[in-house]
Amino acid sequence: MRKIKNILLKIEYDGTNYRGWQRQASRELKGENDSLTVQEVIETALKDILKEKVSLISSGRTDAGVHAKSQYANFRAATSIPLNKMGMAINALLPSDIRVLSVRRVPDSFHSRYDVKTKVYRYVILNRKYCSVFLRQYVLHIPKPQLDVSVMQKESKVLIGRHDFKSFQASDKKVRGSIRTIKDISVKKSRGLILIDVEADGFLYNMVRNIVGTLIEVGRGKRPKNSLKNILLVRDRRCAGPTVPAKGLTLLKVRYKNDKT
């Protein structure tokens, strides 16, 4: 009998045409559009190659329209296909907006979600008069006013640390705990873009998009000084800014315990 291997995929995807990472239970599909999720597309390709049905465990879901430069997902299979051939084989079956970037065997105990130390999400804003055709699906375009990036950067720092982020959680989500730890947050200009990177041990639903929506109001001068501190304290979603569109958001990095990636 062939030994069962624990195999880890590094995956990149353009989320534009997907309903997010996570496979939907069929009852949830009712009344929704019929677009696919990234997980089911990859699982279908794996089933074709492995001749067995496998379930992918990812570092976490990404929402509809969100992109990933580096998503990780592992699965268990009793396959004898050489791993250095498997990436090519999977990519040959995948649409061009999903790519497997690497395939590796990992210890049996490795779990793509439980072993996450931190994840980094990046939100990208194009803050100039006209949008760019080449970036149109990957940035939020804010024609004006010029956002005050240094104030956004300064104000954002109050979010670093272990806090209750209830004010930045989608209000329709009932999750038990809303305490998370933001390890780092940075707001910087790079080649005409504003990049907002958030590294945390976990993210609430819409957390980054709500933080960015609030920081944009800070950058527009619409929020008094130290307002982020107060928003955190009140634990009320209505006090934070709007949820910005998914298309500007990318899962940039996943850091694992014991540096497995």
Please, which residue, 5 or 69, has the CB nearer to a second copy?
69
- Distance between CA 212 and CA 206 in Å, rounded? 10
Residue 164 designated active-site: no
- Distance between CA 3 and CA 234 in Å, rounded? 53
Min dist CB 78 to a second copy, Å, is: 26
Min dist CB 178 to a second copy, Å, is: 32
Secondary structure letter of residue 127 according to DSSP: -
Please, which residue, 56 or 159, has the CB nearer to a second copy?
56
Q: Please name the amino acid found at residue 58.
A: S
Beta bridge partners of 180: 163
Please, which residue, 12 or 148, has the CB nearer to a second copy?
12
For a second copy, the binding residues (CB under 8 A) are 12-14, 67, 69, 87, 91, 96-101, 129-134, 136, 138
Residue 261 in contact with residue 254, Cβ under 8 Å?
A: yes
Task: Single out the residue of 68, 71, 55 nearest to residue 122, CA to CA.
Answer: 68
- 107 SS3 class: coil
Q: b/e for 141-171, b at 16 or more Cβ within 10 A?
A: bbeeeebebebbbebbebbbeebebbbbbee
- Distance between CA 117 and CA 92 in Å, rounded? 32
Min dist CB 68 to a second copy, Å, is: 9
Min dist CB 101 to a second copy, Å, is: 5
Please, which residue, 97 or 164, has the CB nearer to a second copy?
97
Q: Please name the amino acid found at residue 29.
A: L
Q: How do 67-77 and 57-58 pair as beta strands?
A: antiparallel
Please, which residue, 121 or 138, has the CB nearer to a second copy?
138
Min dist CB 71 to a second copy, Å, is: 11
Task: Single out the residue of 225, 189, 183, 218 nearest to residue 202, CA to CA.
Answer: 183
Catalytic-labelled residue, pool 14, 48, 63, 184: 63
The residues that are catalytic are 63
